[in-house]
Each structure stands twice: as C-alpha cells, then as structure tokens.
Amino acid sequence: MYKRYFLLTVSCLLICMLALSWQVLLQQRALADRLIRFHVVAASDDPLDQARKLVVRDALLPEIAALTADCADADAAEAALKQGLPALQATAFSALGTGEPVRAALAEETFPRRDYDSFSLPAGTYRALRVTLGAGAGHNWWCVAFPALCLPAVTERGEERFAETALDAGLTPEELELVSSDGEHVQFKFRLLDWLAELFG
C-alpha cells in the first residue's frame, strides 16, 4: 500500500515538473522570438585581442541601433540587419584595425544564461548577429542587438527607459518581468532552463 502511494506521489511530481518545464520552455521561446542577440568572438584570448573585441563592440552597437531604430519587431530587425551585414562587417574590420578577416552573419545560436546590469536572459536558442574576429578562438561577448538594451545610453537612463525600450520592441509585461526581475520565482525558472539546457545539450 505504502509503495503504491509512494509511486503515485513520485509520478505526480514528475508530471508536474514536466508540465512546468514545458511552460518555461514555451516562455523562453516566446521571449527568443522577440530578441536578436549580439555575439562578438575575439580572435584569441590574448589581452590585446580581447581589448580589440570591445573596440569592435563599441563601434557596432550604435550602428546596429541605427539600423533597427524603426523596426517594430525582431523579424523586421533581422531583415534590416541582414541588409546591413556588409556595412557592419566593414565597420568591424575597420575598428579591429589588424587586417585580419572579419565575418558577420545572422544565425541561430544556443546561449547560456547571461546576467547584465539591468536585466538577465535565460539560457536557450536565439537568433543572433555573430561577428567573428580573425581566427575566432577567443572568449566571446554577448548581449542584445534588438531591442537596443545594451547601449550605454539605454542602461544609464535607468529601469524606466529600459522597460520602455523593451516594451516598444514587443516584449509583453510578463516577458519584461522575466528578464528584469531577480525574484525567487524568476530565478527558479532560470535554473530550470539551465538544467534543461544541460540535459538536452
């Protein structure tokens, strides 16, 4: 009798966990549909190459923001970035200043959880603008190409400006809470996504 109750309890817990996992995955996918990540890969881990990576980032962020300024959603932003890839690649090449090749492309990538000053993003698969410098063998820098959440002009103007930028780009209030809250409920969802990402690669 006790064994039957124990198995029933475990089965119910597993069903609840699977249902919650599915709900969290759907929430992450909905969020991912509204974002385009920005990924800069340094040529190497040499301190000079790592510094150059940040120079390239700083050169590209305003250009990306200008390209996507009039975009109502991530699909429109993706189209604008795709059209602007040659110009973005040229800007990155000039900012890198080493004569090494630079490759800019749009692709789907799997990202780990990432915490920034004003917001956090859960682990998952996102559309991304990936800029690879030289051999692309160094540590990365990740943020968001659309909406323009990573520009210093945005983050320095506080939570109100951050929320306005996110909502203007189509994020729902629930998605905004997911990325900007550090409450226990949100943290549990992020840990669950981290676990699912590790489980399914």
For residue 145, is it within any domain? Answer: yes
pLDDT tier for residue 160 given thresholds of 50, 70 and 90: low
Q: Count up the domains in the chain and report the number.
A: 1
Q: What is the pTM of this model?
A: 0.72
**137 pLDDT higher than 90:** yes
What's the mean pLDDT when you consider all of the chain? 78
- Say which residue, 120 or 70, is predicted with more confidence: 70
pLDDT at 183: 45
Domain ranges, residue 127: 35-200
Transcribe 90-156 into DSSP letters. Answer: HHHHHHH-S---EEEEEEEEEE--EE-SS-EE-SEEEEEEEEEETT--S-EEEEEEES--S-HHHHT
- Containing 39, the helix (H) or strand (E) segment is strand 36-41
List Cβ neighbours of 85 (8 Å cut-off, separation of 6 or more).
104, 105, 106
For residue 155, is it within any domain? Answer: yes
Mean pLDDT comparison of 70-74, 133-137, 147-151, highest-scoring range: 133-137
- What angle, 0 to 180 degrees and rounded to 10, lies between the N-to-C axes of helices 158-168 and 173-180? 140
pLDDT at 32: 82
**43 pLDDT higher than 80:** yes
Could you read off the pLDDT of 61-83 as tens digits, one per residue?
A: 999 999 998 998 999 999 999 99
pLDDT tier for residue 8 given thresholds of 50, 70 and 90: low
For residue 10, is it within any domain? Answer: no
pLDDT at 188: 46
For residue 21, is it within any domain? Answer: no
Comparing 47-51, 65-69, 114-118, 179-183, the range with the smallest average pLDDT is: 179-183
**153 pLDDT higher than 70:** no
**201 pLDDT higher than 70:** no
Q: Tokens in use for 160?
A: 């109100």
For residue 182, is it within any domain? Answer: yes
pLDDT at 124: 82
Residue 67, class by beta-carbon neighbours within 10 Å (0-12 exposed, 13-18 middle, 19+ buried)?
buried
For residue 54, is it within any domain? Answer: yes
CA atoms of 7 and 108, how far apart (whole Å): 41
Dihedrals phi, psi of 69, to nearest 5 degrees = -60, -35
For residue 178, is it within any domain? Answer: yes
pLDDT tier for residue 191 given thresholds of 50, 70 and 90: low
For residue 20, is it within any domain? Answer: no
